[in-house]
Structure 1
Amino acid sequence: MKIVTLILAGGKSSRMQKDKALLDINGKPLLTNIYHIAEQCTDQVYIITPWQDKYRPILPVDCNFITESSYFQGGLIAFFEALNYINSDWILLLACDLPFLTVDDLKNWINTLGNISENTIAFLPKNDKGWECLCGFYRRNCQDSLQKSIQTGNRSFQQWLNQENVKELVVKNKQILFNCNTPKDYEKVVNS
């Protein structure tokens, strides 16, 4: 079973008021940390971003980049575009701002992928608002379904996934899914 990681690093970071991917976490940029975690668990790692030159210096020289076709188009469209470049059974889709995610968490989740039925297109955690779309697994063959959803004008992961067969990835320690979106969030991470 081939698993490829796709890390989204193309957002505005407007709530943070500076680039979240470059936030210092234990002496390294947040994007660098996420990259190295994913690299230890999956066959290949790609960064999708419109700013390769900004992130190239903080990532390994052999890092794979996928350039978004336009700025700030949203995660759903970026994910759809990236699927054209990825050949795998599963895609681990990650946001660049997951400071508490660990190698052990990912390895444990990956070990359960073999139990997911063929007709399930995604294996994702849930929160009070719906699916945790940017910290979970998607089957490569979800592209047709996603394209149809986008063609109707949809730009929402939740709207797309609520019409599909998705299995819940049960996460006991919800802190793993914490997104570092605001200066207050960053302060919490630094002080933890």
Structure 2
Amino acid sequence: MKTVSCILAGGKSSRFGNDKRFATLNGKKLIDYALQVAFEISNDVYISTRHNETFEGYKIIKDQKPFLGPACGIANVIKEVSADIYVFLAADMPFVKKEHISRLIDAIDKKPIAVCYKQNNKLKTLPIVICDPDKEILKMDCSNRRILDLIENIGVKTIKTDNEMIFFNINNYSDLKEAEKILLYSKKI
């Protein structure tokens, strides 16, 4: 089955104050953490980005309209790229690893379906794997910006995890500093 990986990187970074995708964590740009995992999963990698951007050396899918949120980014990728399995990662979640994504892919048991994690009884919509070869998801409306609303009609399977680090995302400088401490002192990562 053809698998593509995509980094969702079209946000404003308004809480961060500047473009967090290029902020450095342990000497590496935030987006590079996601790109590393994306290429470990598939050689076919895309960046879903703002309508007016390019990323030299990478395949991109530009937002049709600016800042409509991750649900529209997902829908745009599925519309533009033909695949059986779509892997979506956030540009600001540096602790997602290949084994986290592989676990989601391995849980695919029907089509169409979206597979994501559940932690402490809360659905976590990123990272997410979507198996939708017939592009059923495109019948849904992405205008409300929520990933859950986009995927709920194709079916959602959850995988329970207690690993909260998977979902650690960088929204502001204090999150970035916390991530630096985690990398420095933790053996979980």
TM tier, smaller = 0.7 to 0.9
Instruction: Summarize the alignment of residues 49-64 of structure 1 with structure 2, pairs less than 5 Å apart.
Output: 49-50=49-50, 51-53=52-54, 55-56=55-56, 61=57, 63-64=58-59
Q: Which residue of 2 aligns with 1:77?
A: 72
Q: Percent identity?
A: 27
Shift of 1:85: 2.1
Asked if the contact 2:47–2:61 (Cα under 8 Å) also holds between the matched residues in 1, the reply is: yes
Matches within 5 A, 1:30-109: 30-50=30-50, 51-53=52-54, 55-56=55-56, 61=57, 63-109=58-104
2: distance between equivalents of 1:129 and 1:72? 29
Spell out, residue by residue over 1:21-51, the C-alpha distance to the aligned partner (whole angstroms, 9 max, x if none).
1110121111122102210122411001125
For residue 107 of structure 1, report the CA deviation from its aligned partner: 3.5
Name the residue aligned to 1:125. 117
For the Cα contact (< 8 Å) 1:120–1:166, is it kept in 2?
no
Q: Please tell me whether the aligned partners of residues 120 and 167 of structure 1 are also in contact (alpha carbons under 8 angstroms).
A: no
Q: Which structure has the highest helix share of the two?
A: 1
SS at match of 2:165: helix
Q: Name stretches of at least 5 consecutive residues in structure 2 with no aligned partner.
A: 183-189
Which is richer in strand? 2
TM-score (norm 2): 0.83
Q: How far has the Cα of 1:130 moved from its partner?
A: 4.4
Shift of 1:119: 4.0
| Distance 1:108-1:166 versus aligned 2 partners, 3 A rule | closer
Residues paired across the two proteins, number: 181
Distance, in Å, in 2 between the alignment partners of 1:123 and 1:130 is 14
The amino acid of 1:137's aligned partner reads: V
Give 1:158 deviation, angstroms.
2.2
In 2, Cα distance between equivalents of 1:186 and 1:142: 39
The Cα of 1:2 is off from its aligned counterpart by 1.9
Secondary structure of 1:179 counterpart: coil
Structure 2 CA distance, aligned partners of 1:142 and 1:8? 22
* Correspondence 1:147 to 2:138: yes
DSSP-derived class of the 2:41 partner: coil
Q: Which amino acid aligns with 1:104?
A: E
Which of structures 1 and 2 has the larger relative contact order (alpha carbons within 8 angstroms, sep 6+)? Answer: 1
TM-score, structure 1 normalization: 0.82
Q: RMSD in angstroms over aligned alpha carbons?
A: 2.3
Distance 1:103 1:164 in 2: 25
